[in-house]
Amino acid sequence: MLADRVLSLSGVHNFRDYGGYAVESGGRLRDGILWRSAHHVEAADDDLATIDALGIETIIDLRGDDERQMHPCRRSENFAGRVLFAGGVTAGLAPHLQAAGGAIDAATARARMIDTYAGMPYRPALVATLRLYLSALAEYDAPSLVHCVAGKDRTGFAVAIVHRLLGVHEDDLMHDYLLTNTAGKIDERVSQGAAHIRDRYGAEIGEDAIRALMSVNPAYLDAALATVRRDHGDIPAYAEAVLNFTPEMREAMIDRLVV
């Protein structure tokens, strides 16, 4: 299943299809229409051509304004779709960078990641863009792509929300989240993240801590979902109250994405 999901690209990490999973009401998610990845800042020309062939019409960029300005994504000259983002400042920090401050060992790094995820359901820039994402999935019947920086934290949370709204079982939801740890060029992705972390915080951060920051862990996503359930009971109620996602929009999304 992993080989079928992951698109091997030279300059874009963690690019994969998160469709295909069975849903609780019967049927399964469509293949080839729900894509996720890391950013495309270092996308090669061949990467862009491969992405073009997927027919993606909507790209959802979960990064803040400052992140996009510092690291603009490459898009093909042939790309004629829409790029959605709500704006807002994130101090240039992806969650793994936010958690890295002072993280000098793996245990501290993991604890900081858990704390960062616990607040993720209410991050203003993320919430605002998730509203656009869910609205687009309910409205457009064409392939889409969601990404952040590493394609694992904000993107992982966004995909988990979409999966649950569509009826994907929580075991499969977690399975897809954890594919970040095995999909694509793992060592290259970790090394890239390590360079950014050490450039910001210093070279004393150990390799085990870097791995904890640049990987995903069930405890991370569980912390975000625990916040959702504590405040709203379940993901659909959170989506309705916080993401302005109506039952009618959910029905439309299911109609478009479940076969």
Q: What is the pLDDT of residues 48-107, one digit of tens each?
A: 999 999 999 999 999 999 889 988 999 999 999 999 999 888 755 566 556 556 556 889
In the structure, what pLDDT confidence band is assigned to residue 19 with cuts at 50, 70 and 90? very high
Helix 170-178 to helix 154-166 angle, to the nearest 10 degrees?
A: 150
Beta-carbon contacts of 233 under 8 Å, excluding residues fewer than 6 positions away, are none
Q: What is the pLDDT of residues 114-138, one digit of tens each?
A: 999 999 999 999 999 999 999 999 9
Amino acid type, 63 = R
In the structure, what pLDDT confidence band is assigned to residue 163 with cuts at 50, 70 and 90? very high
What does the block give as tokens for 21?
């999973």
- Cα separation values, 32 from 20, 25, 132, 143, Å: 8, 21, 21, 7
Amino acid type, 231 = D
Q: Which CATH superfamily is domain 2-257 in?
A: Protein tyrosine phosphatase superfamily (3.90.190.10)
